[in-house]
Structure 1
Amino acid sequence: MSHKHLLLTSCLYGLAMMATPAHASDAAAEPAATEQSQGLGDIVVTAQRREEKLQDVPVAVSAFSPVMIRQLNIVDAISTSKFVPGMISGHNAGLGSANAYYLRALGNSQSTATFDAPITTYVNDIYIARQNANNYAFFDTERVEILRGPQGTLFGRNTTGGAINVILRKPADHFAASGEVTGGSFDRYTAKGTVDVPLSEKVLSKVSAFYISDRGYLKNITTGEWMNGEKTWGIRGDLRIRPNTALTIDLSAEYSRNAGTYAGLRNVAGTSPYVVGGTTVPVFYETAAGLRRTDCTQNNINTLLNTGKGACNLTMVTSLGANVSYDTGAGTLTYITGWRRMNQGYINQYDGSTANPYAGYILVDNGTNDQWSQEVKFNTSLFGGRAKLTTGLFYLQEISNDRQTSFNGGTTSFRAIQDSIYRFKAETAAVYAQTDIKLLDPLTLTLGGRYTWERKTLHFTPSPTFTGLGYGDAAVQAYGIPLAQSVNRFTPRIALNYKATRDVMLFASATNGFKSGGWNGTAAIPSSAVTFRPEKTWSYEAGVKSEFFDHRLRVNVTGYIARTTDLQATAAVLSAVTGTIAQLPFNAGTQLVKGVEIETSAKLGDLTLFANPSFMDAKYTYISPAATTLTTALAPVRAPTFQISSGALYEKSVPELKGTLGASVAWRHNSPYWVAVLNTTHTNTEDFLDLGVSYRTQDDHISVGFDVSNVTDQKTVTANFLSLFPGDPRRYTVRVRFKM
């Protein structure tokens, strides 16, 4: 470990020692004791925008408590997908800070502002509009919820596939501190720490920070450098103000900085196991791209042209948030507001076998995204508690400025072939309401709906650097392409749930959602800056949530049929503007997905077992006549027919060792699935195995652990864009945690 990492660790530990008396306890330890002594224990979720027990919510949701996050070594948002049925996740090609989430065969691997993703991320109920920086690093997390299927009523637009809800821990009412340091394969070192300092009985504060340094696991045999690593750090401050018992004010400020690379694999001659008809074989874990690493700047075009270096990604995020809750006596009124600025830039060479950097395909980007959201929500009970109502108003403004420049085909200098500059603005407002009406003591009817107004505008600017590249608004409008879009849409939900017994609930629902329309904002020529309409999803679900044997066995089963119309896809189509064939985004047609998702867990003394299988049948039932290559004979991407994540968690108190021994094993199996829209690239059968052992002292002040992820070094590909992009190899990690 270098002196930098030792210094950071020492500072965190010293701060904890000064701020925390020896008898203080961490709030996260309480759920651990509860789950140990009371079977599986209850998990409280906010999947319906109010606090409820997981087993009482008629929604398909996977939830992770602090104990589960610790035992399963979940470190960021993408880690959760290993345990969620029907979910496939991977980094966007070339962008390790951006996650492409797919749930029930709905997802989007585009990180451009003019494309929206159907799986949205929320942090403390604040919507994160862009997926460029959605790989949220978990530090001081209270719980994570993965909502599967459309959430158009309570969460709104762009949740046709589902939502990821991250809830961070609030400041404690006593001095407390905790931290973690790790070291492992590929020179990966991390440090996390949090300190709670109550300023008074009515004002509580908390500061959290994290740091990650990773050399990278991909060797560049052309430059001798290591790729696919990162240097990331962040700091967050929380303030909780409670002037009286009725009013709670939560304020937060956060900054994070992620710098890294994510390169594709080099190829050698052979029969490809991943590409249909391919004549080359990828070499794990090597690249041969000729572009050397550098640090990204606010003007990456100048960086590339002046230094001849690239291979970088820098994402900086600043955010402010407020959540004000007031108990009116008749219900709880909540005001939620958030501001977030993302500044991102990257230089990526995508063809991993091109040693001459001038000849390679290089994408250079600089962009900013500003979003500001406000929400007013009211929760109340009606008719003597026989009905519960959640209603509210929502507003979001989002402004993106982006410049994306492509280089390709040079010999001794970089040759620019595209320079797209645009300014994008979106405004959306909504009113929503959902009520749960108890028709009979065991039978509850849920009725909900959301009405959304949305307007988007787009403006283009010709290139100031490269003559003949780029274009303005007039050039786009000359092809009849509008630069403004508006949509008004109502998304309803109806559900029934029946409590057969105290621990068995049956439910059925019909839910609607939509994903926004947009443009091909980074088109090389104005005629390709085409629009596409919103896609709409209806999902019909039925299931059971059940517990047996005094809450020691939990079995939750959901069956669903989801029909998505005006599905957004990118493929070769006959352009309605020019009459020629081009690779364009368009509304491809209709996708039908049927599936069954099962989540089971059992507590047998000190041993917890879990198994979460899913079965999925995804197909296109209609394809637009404009498509020239996409047909109903092809299959949707990232939709494995069968998945299962299973494992065992063991914790045993050993008085002779004055502590608790722990062990974990987790296995994830995916049947083969496509990663390219035209079914040219696929994965093979995947089996991932993770192992871990740990020791915790009796007072839970110190714990140490050793983990191995991807024990068998399963090779996998996450994307195909001129190169195959790999998933993580086997990793070893040693970790030390402390609480005070």
Structure 2
Amino acid sequence: MRRALLIALLALPLPAVAQDLPPAAAAAADADQAGDAIVVTARRREESLQDVPLPVSVFSEKQLTSTGAYNIARVAQIQPVIQYYASNPRNSAINIRGLGAPLGLTNDGIEQGVGLYIDQVYYSRPAASALDFIDTEQIEVLRGPQGSLYGKNTTAGAINIRTRAPSFTPEARVELTGGNYDFFQGKGSVSGPLSDTLAARFAVVGSTRRGTVRNVRTNEWTNSQDNLGLRASFLYKGIEDLSLTLAIDYNKQRPRGYTQVAVRTFPTLRAANRQFGALATTLGYRLPTTDPFDRVTDVDAPLQSNQDQGGASLIAEWAAGDNTVTSVTAWRFWTWRPKNDRDFIGLPITTRSENNSDQRQLTQEFRFATSGNNKLDFTGGIFGYRQTIATDSVTAQGAAANQWTNGPTANPAVLDGLTQRAAIYYANNSLAAYGQLTWNATESIRVQPGIRFNFDTKDATYNATQSGGIANPTAAQQAQKNASLPAQSYTASYKAFNVSGDINISWRVAPDVLLYAVASKSFKSGGLNLNGLPALADGVTPALALAQVKPESVTHFEGGVKAQFWDRKITANLTAYHTDIKDYQTTVSNGAIGIVRGYLANADVRIQGVEGEFSLRPNDRFTAYLNFAYNDGVFTRFPDAPVAPENTGGTAQSIDISGARFPGVSKWSLAWGGEANVPAGPNGGQFYVGADASYRSSYSSNATPSPYFVVDGFSIANFRAGYRDDSNLDVFAWVKNAFDTHYFEFLSNQPGNNGLVVGQLGDPRTFGVTVAKKF
């Protein structure tokens, strides 16, 4: 039914005539053969990519289509500086250089360090990154703090997505893709004038795919895709020098999933009868397989990851000579209705894990830009932000929960049916003023200081009740119930004013060579713990000292060179950076309880490295690119980190891991590829072949380093071959992960800390055919 609806909707066509170029640094080759500049708006003005004195990667619609990058997760596979982790849409994190959000379960009480902007609108929910791109024209990835140019403060970088604007020239686009695992994706858009002063654009995208993990208990496929996105936009130009753009979008996802699979077991310091193997034997359980790449699970709780999100925005742009005034007004909503099996195996341990959540977001930005002075330019603005999140959480334990948590001799009835219901409310208000001045000191030297003033208030309430489990418990049994799913109530608040700033100095030493240096002092506002708190020694009173986490203080230095050679047929961009974060907001697990429950803590972090983007286009018949990132990240201070999972059951409750490897980021990441074509026929036709590959070295998947939670390095290769011509027809076959590399996106400690590692599997080999046409 869904597929039939998509095909019917695609009587309106949609984005993407896939053309010849691969990602990122190769975007320089997306300009015409004369070496015309790529125009970006990353710094809130139109300028050539090679003129931007910052590391910026650009992905055009053509590159996104040809590489199959239809969401942020796919972009991360071909851009080494991006890390993307998601156990489900809510628990999604976009990181740049390893920074942005801590690896692990999402905590709504902290903000994202990477700003996601679509058509100038800030998206506060990382769940938006799981959506398919709709009618996307260009994606720009900025690294480093961006607080003096963007409305919401972003300490790690920003992803700036621009969709196609309504056109007064009629046009239509369609793209259809089919592949294995019953994959089908349809995209379509149509645009044109409604009157002499009003143009409209309508777009749709839909994706379905069978799951890649088989549940042998229910005989169903899990971790599937089922997405639908709709977008309408209207452009009014009835008043001289004024343009008004109204956009409305709606997106929904209805996949069956998600779950992780058992990877390996490891010994803990607990008694022999409390190791995973012994407990499983006691409870008469056996894993369905010992090979995670059999892609099977036996979870016994329902799986559901339903999300709906959308909103409306109105952008007004008034140009008066060399001055531009912009207003961006936006309202957005996000609704999340999940069902999870948080023990990840076929035992009745945690039988319900549902955090039904509703978010509402309102933003207003006023921005002013002037460029009328040969010596001085200025861009500045005011940004207001209001966010509310209401969450109703239900967690329930099953018949095996108590033995799994407290040992085989524990009374199963104590936790059987124990249920915690939590009502969580969070309100976040923010007001900021920001600006950046450009001083053209000479024809070749620019000095750009920036400043930001930010005021934040955050308020939260957490009320959890406890019911079920054994009736009339003894004191010891009640303690077990409280350790598992406590009744808990607390309030928390945060209020602070911050000032931050940066300075950028660039020097064009030759027409095609730019040197730049950046120094910035930035921050991320303090956070509130919304996942419940660990208890004090009495086992009941919440540790209120952990309710609030300190703001992050970021000191960042960066320097680089952007250069083109051989009549701009070669592009070479290099940057080196050093970032120190005091009071980095990280998520740690409470090992005292038998379910996944993360809370926030502060640590100090240092991230430094070197990045390079190189592209070659000697002629119209061949392109190639190579991107690399070297990233060295460590905790410079983390004296009270949780012990490693293998040390569970020992006397130590915390450990000093200062100097340890920072989790979630590979030391080396690379992406490379290219494309070649030959003429075919009189209509400008050509046959082409292309390849893209990526490599990421190993990384730690646990805050406290552990050899059992290291994700091994892996490489993925993708290939495509097809035909295109001047009629804007493009037909190509593709294969992703061509060599069926077995890899994990991340590893986790199975609740209970009994010695089982579970992991999120990367996609297997997929292949298919794409047909794209522009009219």
TM-score by length of 2: 0.83
Q: Which residue of structure 1 lines up, in the alignment, with residue 754 of structure 2?
A: none
- Encode CA deviations 1:471-518: one digit per residue, 9 max, x unaligned: 57xx426xxxxx210111111010100001111100001022222222
Q: Report the CA distance shift for 1:11/1:425 in structure 2 as closer, same or farther (over 3 A).
A: closer
Which residue of 2 is the match for residue 737 of structure 1?
772
Residue 107, structure 1, aligned to residue 100, structure 2: yes
Instruction: Show the counterpart of 2:393.
Output: 404
User: Deviations along 1:682-711, whole A, 9 cap, x unmatched?
Assistant: 1112111011112123311x3211111111
> Of residues 545, 553, 558 in structure 1, which corresponds to 2:562?
545
Matched, 1:517 2:526: yes
SS at match of 1:262: coil
Higher deviation after alignment, 454-463 or 49-58: 454-463
Q: Give the superposed CA RMSD.
A: 3.0
1:615 aligned residue: 630
Instruction: Report matched runs for 1:442-453 at 5 Å.
Output: 442-453=444-455
Amino acid at match of 2:508: K
Matches within 5 A, 1:167-246: 167-246=162-241
3-state secondary structure, aligned to 1:9:
helix
SS in 2 for 1:193: strand
What CA distance in whole angstroms lies between the structure 2 residues aligned with 1:417 and 1:465?
A: 5
Post-superposition offset of 1:441:
1.1
Q: What residue number does 1:725 align with?
A: 760
2:519 paired with 1:504: no
Count, aligned residues: 690
The answer as to whether partners of 2:711 and 2:746 remain within 8 angstroms in 1 is no
> Could you tell me how far apart the structure 2 residues matched to 1:266 and 1:640 are?
23
User: Match of 2:538?
Assistant: none
Matched, 1:355 2:369: no
For residues 30 and 214 of structure 1, do their structure 2 counterparts lie closer, same or farther at Cα, with a shift above 3 Å needed?
A: closer
Partner of 1:303 in structure 2?
none
CA distance in 2, matches of 1:142, 1:11: 21
Deviation at 1:206, TM superposition (A): 0.5
Partner SS for 2:293: coil
Given candidates 62, 82, 87, the residue that maps to 2:82 is 87
Residue 26 of structure 1: how far off its partner (Å): 8.9
Are residues 417 and 339 of structure 1, via their aligned partners in 2, closer, same or farther at CA, if it must alter by over 3 Å?
A: same
Write the deviation string for residues 363-393 of structure 1: whole angstroms up to 9, x where unpaired: 21101000000000001025x3221100110
Partner of 2:334: 342
1:675 paired residue number: 701
Alignment partners' CA distance in 2, 1:236 and 1:638? 34
- Structure 2 equivalent of residue 421 of structure 1: 423
Say if 1:323 and 1:510 are closer, same or farther in 2 by CA, change over 3 A.
Answer: same
Matching of residues 246-265 of structure 1 within 5 Å: 246-260=241-255, 261-265=257-261
Distance in 2, matches of 1:126 and 1:8, equals 27
**1:563 — aligned with what?**
580
2:340 is the alignment partner of 1:314: no
Pairing 1:133–2:119 present: no
Query: Contact between 1:265 and 1:285, CA under 8 Å: does it hold in 2?
Result: no
* 1:656 CA drift (Å): 6.1
- Letter of the structure 2 residue corresponding to residue 712 of structure 1: F
The aligned counterpart of 2:407 is none
Does the C-alpha gap of structure 1 residues 278 and 75 become closer, same or farther in structure 2, counting only changes over 3 Å? farther
Deviation (angstroms), 1:418: 3.4
For residues 158-173 of structure 1, the aligned pairs below 5 Å read 158-173=153-168
- In structure 1, the residue corresponding to 2:362 is in which secondary structure? strand
When residues 571 and 235 of structure 1 are mapped into structure 2, their CA distance, relative to the original with a 3 A threshold, is closer
Distance in 1 separating the partners of 2:181 and 2:20: 35
State the alpha-carbon separation in 1 of the partners of residues 682 and 229 from structure 2. 40
Q: Provide the C-alpha distance between the structure 2 equivalents of 1:366 and 1:652, rounded to a whole number of angstroms.
A: 54
Question: Matched residue of 2:711: which SS?
Answer: coil
Which residue is equivalent to 1:369?
Answer: 359
Q: Do the aligned residues in 2 keep the contact of 1:217 with 1:285 (CA within 8 Å)?
A: no
Q: Which runs of 5+ in 1 are unaligned?
A: 293-309, 478-482, 576-581
Structure 1 residue 460 displacement after superposition: 2.5
In structure 2, relative to structure 1, the CA distance for the partners of 1:417 and 1:719 (3 Å cut) is farther
Shift of the 157–513 alpha-carbon distance from structure 1 to 2, 3 Å rule, reads farther
Asked if 1 retains the 8 angstrom alpha-carbon contact of 2:175 and 2:773, the reply is yes
Q: 1:8 aligns to what? A: 6
Deviation at 1:30, TM superposition (A): 13
Secondary structure of the residue aligned to 1:719 is strand
**In the alignment, is the contact (CA less than 8 A) between 2:556 and 2:578 conserved in 1?**
yes
1:455 to 457, 462, 467: 457
Q: 1:60 to 1:532 in 2, by over 3 A?
A: same
- Give the aligned residue type for 2:3: H
Confirm whether residue 379 of structure 1 aligns to residue 369 of structure 2: yes
Corresponding residue number in structure 1 for 2:605: 591
Match of 1:441 in 2: 443
Is 2:655 aligned against 1:629? yes
Cα contact 1:704–1:735 (8 A) shared by 2: yes
* Residue deviations 1:263-321 (CA, integer Å, cap 9, x gap): 1113577999xxxx9999551142333335xxxxxxxxxxxxxxxxx200100012101
Q: What is the distance in 1 between the residues matched to 2:768 and 2:586?
A: 39
| Closer/same/farther in 2, CA of residues 11 and 319 from structure 1, 3 Å limit | closer
Deviation at 1:67, TM superposition (A): 2.4
Contact 2:212 2:223 in 1 (8 A): yes
In 1, the alpha carbon distance for the partners of 2:718 and 2:385 equals 40
Q: Which residue number in structure 1 is paired with residue 681 of structure 2? A: 655
1:666 counterpart letter in structure 2: D
Which amino acid is 2:440 matched to?
Answer: K
3-state secondary structure, aligned to 1:111: coil
Q: What corresponds to 1:304 in structure 2? A: none
Letter in 2 for 1:381: S
2: distance between equivalents of 1:629 and 1:234? 46
State which of 252, 259, 283 in structure 1 corresponds to 2:292: 283
Q: Residues 211-230 of structure 1, C-alpha deviation per residue, up to 9 Å, x if partnerless?
A: 11111111112221101102
